[in-house]
Amino acid sequence: MYGRKASQLLKEFASGDSGQLTGFNNELFAQVIEECKGHSQCLEDLLRQSQEEGSNNQTSKKADLHGALIHHLSLVRNKRCLMAYVYNRAEVIQSLGWTIKCGLPEEIEEKLSNSEKEYFKNHSATLRSYMKELDIDLGVDMVPPKDPYIKVRVLEEIGDDVILSDQVANLARHAILYLRRTDAEEYISQGKMEELTV
């Protein structure tokens, strides 16, 4: 049945958690593109055949035009499904650009296609240059915190005598510290620290 593979591609994306990516399905994506090429070829053949026959045989001309309509609508539906799949994945990748400051974690990177990796790299570079130009980090909380300091626990060894904005800290594993929110957020987003509720 026409359009089943494209529909399956969207169902696969929708079955994942909101804001999370499943692996890019190159195989199914390529199958849908091949189906689109087939529809396009059939559509061209039917239209060419209809023009060659002229208006001699009305019944076969109507059948050809109905067949052409079916191939055209299937082609449009497949294209819309492919665009929705790519667009929704791009939205998730854009949100990652706001939350992940440096490099994608390996478990996320392996789920992306090569073009998506390039898109993330370019989007992140554009965000960083814009924030650098403004001299402000737009990735921090949109709601102002009550206290600029937060209590954190170090999950991975970061190092001794790490220079932060207002102090030098020993960020040894399992250490519990009060740090400026802006200093801790980079390590929290990398999974090296966790914020503790007071």
Q: How does pLDDT run across 143-167, given as a tens digit for each residue?
A: 676 778 889 998 888 877 777 777 7
Residue 135 region, left (φ>0) first, then alpha (ψ -120 to 50), else beta? left
- Residues 94, 170: Cα–Cα separation, whole Å: 33
One-letter amino acid at 42 equals C
Contacts of 81 (CB under 8 A, 6+ apart): 3, 6, 7, 9, 10, 32
Question: Stretch 37-49: mean pLDDT, rounded?
Answer: 87
* Chain mean pLDDT for the chain: 84
Strands (E), 68-171: 149-154, 159-163, 168-171
Q: How would residue 83 be classed by pLDDT, with cut points 50, 70 and 90?
A: very high
Return the higher-pLDDT residue of 133 and 60.
133
Residue 31 pLDDT more than 90? yes
Whole-number pLDDT of residue 150: 87
- Residues 171, 194: Cα–Cα separation, whole Å: 12
What structural domains does the chain harbor? 4-133 (1.20.58.1030), 149-196 (3.40.5)
Return the higher-pLDDT residue of 17 and 81.
81
Question: Stretch 9-15: mean pLDDT, rounded?
Answer: 88
- Residues 184, 192: Cα–Cα separation, whole Å: 9
In this prediction the pTM is 0.68
Question: Stretch 47-54: mean pLDDT, rounded?
Answer: 77
C-alpha dist (Å) from residue 94 to 19, 124, 126, 155: 10, 8, 11, 27
Question: Comparing C-alpha atoms, which of 35, 32, 23 is closest to residue 89?
Answer: 23
Residue 66 pLDDT more than 70? yes
Whole-number pLDDT of residue 1: 66
> Cα-flanking dihedrals φ and ψ of residue 182, to 5°?
-65, -30
Could you tell me the two tokens for 73? Answer: 């609508």
Whole-number pLDDT of residue 183: 81
Return the higher-pLDDT residue of 183 and 61.
183
